[in-house]
Structure formats: structure tokens, C-alpha cells
Structure 1
Amino acid sequence: MSSSVEAHEPGHLPLYLKEIGNHALLTAAEEQALARSFIQGDLQAGHKLVTSNLRFVVKVAYEYRSYGLRMADLIQEGNIGLMKAVQKFDPDKGIRLISYAVWWIRAFIQSYILKSWSLVKLGTTQAQRKLFFALARTRRELERGGNGTPTEVDAAAIARKLNVKASEVREMEQRMGGHDLSLDAPMGGEDATSHLDFLESGHVTQDDEVAERQEADVTRELIAQAMSRLDSRERFIIEQRVMSESPMTLRQLGEHFGFSRERARQLEIRAKEKLKVLLAELMAARDGDTAAA
């Protein structure tokens, strides 16, 4: 498996984007068939899985465009993450490849950004890494304000939003200050495009909607896994009291199982707590796999 992005300098990025757009998206059935063939040693199947999803890597890479690094480099790192995901993808899990791969793509891009900014200075702990990637996004959100009017934002406001100390925000801003750049600066090469051309719009794009749906798919998968670890009575309680559009009353739940309303309430609390613990464990395991990459 390989990707052609390394053959393109920043000035040729539009050509690369046009090329990857020529690869048709796969249906779920096609994706599963190719994944199974790849597991059995068919490298061409693996190559098609990669090329059919390259456009999603570009979408994720553009989320990190404000860090001042070449877009071609970010895309290249994301492509490596995609290839890693294809190698580890299990078609029998019941989720789409991109829903699984997005975590690998982000992990490789974020690792590259941290290395480019000097890991010794910026990313020595998980909390610092999280603050590094949340800082700029949070400042933009607060500056836009609730009514769309630009607002000046200080470190204290950002700290409250991120639930960290104001001193930690100021320290991270100082560390990141060495990489400030003009929005009018060209992105390099023959391309006359500037960073200003890629400022985020306040409108929700189709790509954002796709990404949100993919995130929702992953969340649903985690919930399904957690639900499968509950016993039959606990699953019934969660399904009828939490997930149903017309939930049962506690009295109805008690009558169904043959016990009192109070007993039904106690069992509901217990089932919710168990589900919460299972979801936390699954999310921690997923984040651990991403960090290990």
C-alpha cells in the first residue's frame, strides 16, 4: 500500500486533490469484501481501501492548518495513519473503515505537529498535549462570542472553558508564540494561496457534517459494546428507560419484572452506573490504542 502525496510539493496540492477525487467511495459491502481479501494477503485490495479514503485524510488534515505547517506534510502523515488503520481494520466489527481510521489519522498528524514544535518544549504530558491542540480552537470559539460579535478573550476565560489553570494557558501560549505567522504569508512553492484563504467559516460544511456523523457512528459502536456486557435485565432497563422514545414508567418497569416501583428505581440506578463504567473503560482502551500508535 502506498499513497502519492509524497510526490507533490505544496504548489501541486490542487493537482493531488483532483487526483484523489477520481477514486470512487466504497459501499459498506465493497469495503468489507476488500478488507477480507487484504487480510488474506491481497495487497491490491489494501491499496484500494487506502486510495478510496484519501479525501477524508485531507479533510482531517485541514483541521490542523492553523499550526503553520505545510498542508502536504500534514496530509502525508495522515495518509500513514490511514494505512496503519487499514492494516489493523477488522471488517467483522460492524463499523466503517473511516470511522475506525479517523483516530489513527489524527494520532499521526498530532504526533507530527508536536515533533515539529519540539516535543521537549510542548508535549511532555498528556494534559499538555490536550491543551496544545485545544487552545487555538477554544480561543476562536470564545472570540466569536455567542452573538457572532468578535470579543477579546483573556487566558482566564480560556482556562475556565478548558478547566485548567490560567497560568497553564499563558505558559502554553508563550511556548507556541515562536510559531506565529502572517495570515497573508503564502503557503510556499508555486501556489499563491495564503493561510488567510483557509480561515474556518462559521458555517457548518458538508465535510463537517460527515465528520460528525462518523464520530456519532463510533459513539454508537461504543454504546453497543457496553450494552452487550450488561445482563439481560440491565439491558432491558436501559433500553426501556433511557433509549426508548416512549420510556416505561418505573411502575410499568416494576410490573414487568414483578417487583415494586422503588426496587425498579434502584435497579435503574445500578444499571446506569454499570453502563457508565463500561463506557469509560471502552473509551480509555480506545484512547490508549490511539496513543500507542
Structure 2
Amino acid sequence: MKLPVLTGTLDLYIGEINRFPLLTAEEEFKLAVQLKKYGNVEAAEKLIVSNLRFVVKIAHEYRSYGFKLADLIQEGNVGLIHAVKKFDPYKGYRLISYAVWWIRAYIQNYLIKSWSIVKIGTTQAQRKLFFKLNQTKKELETLSKKNPEFSEIATSLGVKNSEVAEMDVRMGSRDVSLNEFIKDEGDNAHIDFLTYEGDDQEVSLIKDEEKSLVRRDIAGALAKLNERESYIILNRVMADDPQTLQEIGIKYNISRERARQIEKQALKKIQLALPYFKTDK
């Protein structure tokens, strides 16, 4: 079985992935056991293709950020593949319940890195504000029937007025890739209307390959963490609504200080695997 690739129109891709039936809990469990015990590649492929439609659904939630849906879906698919590799069928929950965290993490990481040359989300609070600002704006606008003031948004999110104002400016001036199509599924990119003086095709391909290697490095680094460390990274560092150390301590029946130590240890492991990885911790 070959995994579907988004090379044509979105409608064709969605039509293709909808041909794959959803798995029952029993079917999913059997396939996941085959993968975990015997490394069955065919079982892994069936687990992936049966959940591709959920990646499209999740990717749609991020359309308001102005990126091509195809790019968001591709990033989400990478997250799904990683989730399938790490999924433990004996934990008692469905694959998509686990995979949704990885799908969102890869999409959000792509958005943060692609939005601007200047990092838009350098702390957990900024990342949270980045993903909550538009949503909160729309909710307040629906209630009041007018554009909300920064002070109203700040009160709703529990942040300073200046932080909302700064993020609003940064989100309103996103860098645009010259290779980005002017319209989804269009034929003309921004670069087609400029005198080209940049990298040639060969250099561009090399850079794309470097980005692919970085994504694989990140996935490999996360795979080196144990269950508690993975949970903390996923739910504090990579989550748009990060849990507190107190909440994690309650989950694992440990102290807040012990949770902080585990988080620090996990971040060190990632830094060792990824020398270019930076953290504010």
C-alpha cells in the first residue's frame, strides 16, 4: 500500500483519503499490536491512512493564519506518522486521541517558524497568545457586534494590553514566501511577478532537504524521552494551552519541584540531540 500524497488538488486528495474506511476499536488494536510487536509496516500504513481525514479536519482549524491548507495538512501528516510509531495500544485509548497532540504540535510548530523571520513565539505565554488572539477577537466581536478593544482582549486572556498590541502588530505583518502561490491551487507565485535574483533551483532543493532533516531530528529527539518526559514536553513546551507544574505533579503524584526537575532533564536531552535547539527554561 502506498500512502496518499498531496500532489494534485485538495479535492482529489480528500476524495482519495476518504476511500479508506475508518477502523473499529478492535481492528485498530490488532493492527497496533502487530506494529508494536513485529514492526509490521503494512499495519502501520493502515493505521495512518484510516486517520488522514482527521488531519485535514484539524488543519482546517488553522486556516485563519493565512497559510496554504496543503502545507498545514502535510505537517499534520508528519505528526500523525510519528504518533503511529509511538502509539501504545495497551494504554486503552484510541489512536486519534493520542495522535491529535502530535498533529497539532507539528502544525503549530510550522506556523510559529514560518510566520516571521523574527520569532513570534519565544515563550510559552507568547505561543499561547499567538494561537488564542484571533479566536478571542472573534468571540468578543460576536458578543459585542463591534471590533473589541485591546483592553477587552487582554482582560479575557489575562495578559497585558501592551502584549496584545504587540502580538496584533506582529501577526498583521507576516512575512510572505516568494514561492507561495497567490491563491490556493493557483499557477502563479509571488516570485513570478518579480525579477529573480535569489537562489537557483538546486540551492532551493538543498534548503528544503535541510528543513526535512530538521523535522526528522526533532522527532528523533522526542523519541529518546521516557513517558513522563514526553508528556511534559507535549503538554507544557509544545501545547498552546500549557499545563502548570502543579497539574503535572498531581497527574504523576509528584511534587511541583520534582515536575520542574523532570522538565529540565527532558529539555537537556533534547538540547543534546539538537544542538541548535534553544529554550527560555
Corresponding residue for 1:81?
79
Go from structure 1 to structure 2 and tell me whether the alpha carbon gap of 1:3 and 1:125 turns closer, same or farther (over 3 Å shift). Answer: farther
Measure the CA separation in 2 of the matches of 1:178 and 1:277.
Answer: 39
Which of 117, 120, 123 aligns to 2:121? It is 123
Matched, 1:50 2:45: no
Tell me if the contact between 1:78 and 1:106 (Cα under 8 Å) persists in the aligned partners.
yes
Tell me if the contact between 1:3 and 1:79 (Cα under 8 Å) persists in the aligned partners.
no
* Superposition RMSD in Å: 2.9
Matched, 1:162 2:177: no
Shift, 1:115, TM fit? 1.0
Which of 172, 183, 187 aligns to 1:177? It is 172
Gaps spanning 5+ residues in structure 1: where? 191-273
1:145-170 per-position Cα deviation (integer Å, ceiling 9, x unaligned): 0xxx6222011111111100010000
Go from structure 1 to structure 2 and tell me whether the alpha carbon gap of 1:119 and 1:278 turns closer, same or farther (over 3 Å shift). Answer: farther
Measure the CA separation in 2 of the matches of 1:131 and 1:71.
Answer: 22
The structure where helix makes up a greater share of residues is 1
Go from structure 1 to structure 2 and tell me whether the alpha carbon gap of 1:93 and 1:131 turns closer, same or farther (over 3 Å shift). Answer: same
Q: What TM-score, normalized by structure 1, do the two folds share?
A: 0.61
1:8-38 per-position Cα deviation (integer Å, ceiling 9, x unaligned): 3xxx000101111111000011001000111
Shift, 1:281, TM fit? 6.9
Go from structure 1 to structure 2 and tell me whether the alpha carbon gap of 1:136 and 1:94 turns closer, same or farther (over 3 Å shift). Answer: same
Which AA in structure 2 matches 1:92? Y
1:203-252 per-position Cα deviation (integer Å, ceiling 9, x unaligned): xxxxxxxxxxxxxxxxxxxxxxxxxxxxxxxxxxxxxxxxxxxxxxxxxx
Measure the CA separation in 1 of the matches of 2:159 and 2:16.
Answer: 43
Task: Say which structure, 1 or 2, has more relative contact order (CA 8 Å, 6+ apart).
Answer: 1
Go from structure 1 to structure 2 and tell me whether the alpha carbon gap of 1:281 and 1:72 turns closer, same or farther (over 3 Å shift). Answer: farther
Which AA in structure 1 matches 2:166? E
In the TM superposition, what are the counterparts of 1:1-293 in structure 2 within 5 Å? 3-8=3-8, 12-39=9-36, 40-118=38-116, 120-145=118-143, 150-179=145-174, 186-189=183-186, 278-279=250-251
Q: What TM-score, normalized by structure 2, do the two folds share?
A: 0.63
Measure the CA separation in 1 of the matches of 2:128 and 2:253.
Answer: 19
Shift, 1:278, TM fit? 1.7
Measure the CA separation in 1 of the matches of 2:2 and 2:82.
Answer: 11
Measure the CA separation in 1 of the matches of 2:251 and 2:117.
Answer: 31
Gaps spanning 5+ residues in structure 2: where? 177-181, 188-245, 271-281
